Structure 1
């Protein structure tokens, strides 16, 4: 009877370890998926100057004026020096200006 109990205990321990490892792999995969979605969503939130001009029908000179003189937030990429705009910032700014897109 003692051997049977020990054998059952070992099998239960193996099953526990298997389930724990399985749950850890699932959790890791879920985190990877969430990070990928976060990254993709982040890319959608940033616009180049050309994208802002096209999407909101703003000329280059107007966009420049908004940025330099009227406080539209812009972000310069340290790596390549290109200017980007957060979509939310542009929409909020244009709403305050009374412009619709």
Structure 2
């Protein structure tokens, strides 16, 4: 099976996803988050750095769950680059409010 190259939009969306996950993870260990989500630390690292721009939905759902992110917030963040997720400083968990 031949995989087509990613489009510019897919690459950008993957970068926004990685940035969102890094912000949501905050100071928590990548290893702890990966293990709690039952994904390999290498997979999480590749997603966070944008090297895997189109990860499988179950992978993102599991990571988002561990980070306390709703899939609605993830979807909004990766598809609307002008909007962002606000994180609380006390626990590094995202609020459900999107920044204007």
Q: Same fold (TM over 0.5)?
A: no
TM norm structure 2: 0.33
Larger radius of gyration: 1
Higher normalized contact order (CA 8 Å, seq sep 6+, divided by chain length): 2
TM norm structure 1: 0.33
